[in-house]
Amino acid sequence: MKRIAVYCGSASPADSRYLELATEVGRTLADREIGLVYGGGRLGLMGAVADAALAAGGEVIGVIPEALVSSEVAHRGCTELHVVSGMHERKLAFTELSDGFLTIPGGVGTMDELWEAVSWAQLGYHTKPVGLLNAFGFYDHLLAFNRHMVEVGFIRPAHQGIIIAETELDLLLTRMAAHEPHTPIFAMKASDL
């Protein structure tokens, strides 16, 4: 993987572990010579992951909607800063610019990005790994809900492993690098669905 899109929050939670985690992610990607593609902001976990990657000499590509640039939250220190018209274009750029997706803690926007990456993988719009760093048990309930969707039958057996979840960053990156694409819905016959 030459570049990974990192999805995370633009907030700075009171618990300092979250900003420390974002810093670890940015530094680790740079140390592994993996470019960072992210939301282009300078605040919260987004800013921390970008700053850490830049400080470690890494490539940082921000993708930010025009409206957020106008709000003065854009990170002007990125290696490249792509300004797009809206959120749909932003997520498409994440997919086009990266070789995989890594989600760390975040809020509603982070969930939107994660689920789109999962949905697009399931359908066959991309064959890239979708990683979820479940640090501090942050995503325990989300992973339980994903298992529930599998058990009920809303996620097919061929797609139950799309989300690659780990609690340790190094193991997650190793598993993402070893990712083998599944059979997407677009390649299935109606009888398989």
Please, are residues 9 and 48 in contact by the beta-carbon 8 Å criterion? Answer: no
The residue-averaged pLDDT of 172-184 equals 95
Q: For 71-123, what is each residue's pLDDT tens digit? A: 778 999 999 999 999 999 999 999 999 999 999 999 999 999 999 999 999 99
Q: For 149-159, what is each residue's pLDDT tens digit? A: 999 999 999 99
Please, are residues 81 and 99 in contact by the beta-carbon 8 Å criterion? Answer: no
The residue-averaged pLDDT of 113-134 equals 96
Three-state SS at 37: strand
Residue 141, pLDDT score = 98
- 35-38, strands of its sheet edge to edge: 80-84, 60-65, 35-38, 3-7, 101-103, 130-133, 163-166
Please, are residues 23 and 48 in contact by the beta-carbon 8 Å criterion? Answer: yes
Match domain 3-178 to its CATH number in 3.40.50.740, 3.65.10.10, 3.40.50.980, 3.40.50.450.
3.40.50.450
Residue 70, pLDDT score = 79
Residue 192, pLDDT score = 75
Residue 190, pLDDT score = 79
Provide the H-helix boundaries in 56-156.
66-70, 87-97, 108-123, 140-152
The CA-based angle 177-141-119, given to 5 degrees, is: 50
Residue 193, pLDDT score = 72
Cβ-Cβ contacts under 8 Å for 191 (sequence gap 6 or more): none
The CA-based angle 173-188-102, given to 5 degrees, is: 15
DSSP labels, 134-178 = -GGGTTHHHHHHHHHHHHHTSS-GGGTTSEEEESSHHHHHHHHHT
Q: For 25-58, what is each residue's pLDDT tens digit? A: 999 999 999 999 999 999 999 999 999 999 999 9
